[in-house]
Amino acid sequence: LYVDGVPIRIYKNRESMGIPYPNKQAMRVHSSIWNADWATRGGLIKVDWAQAPFTVAFRDLVLDACVSYTDSPDPSCKKTYSASRLDPGVHLSASDQAKLAWVRKNYMIYNYCADAKRFPQGWPRECSLGLYS
């Protein structure tokens, strides 16, 4: 997932390794303001409700997506996008890897692959594979 040309999220398709991948239904993008205390390093970062009301606006929003009007992926999407965008073997460039590392360092506040309380019996398989492997 890219925002303003910067990668902010990567989740590689590793179905062949038995790791679930969300490709059986259309994906959605939602934006909301919510109390995420549970997801902020165990509640260490609190929402300052004294700063309310919160206002959010999108300016010059451009979405590059294949729109589906059902819960199933639209087969014509594969024709819309080049094979390189759909190929699970495609890797981020060194520049995009550096940008993603910067985003993760400066903006990511929760990583389920580091949440020992949530996974006391061990991490999900994808956590040991690394982002780019």
| pLDDT for 36 | 62
| pLDDT for 119 | 93
| pLDDT for 10 | 82
Place of tokens 């990511």: 108
| pLDDT for 72 | 67
Number of domains the chain is built from: 1
| pLDDT for 35 | 64
Distance CA 24, CA 72 (A): 7
CATH number, residue 114: 2.60.120.200
Q: Coil, helix or strand for 114? A: helix
Owning domain of residue 36? 1-133
Q: Do 56 and 70 touch, CB atoms closer than 8 A?
A: no
Q: How confident is the prediction along the chain (133 residues), in pLDDT tens digits per residue?
A: 777 788 888 878 888 888 888 777 666 666 665 666 666 666 777 777 888 777 777 777 777 777 667 766 666 665 554 444 444 555 788 898 899 999 999 988 888 888 999 999 999 988 888 776 5
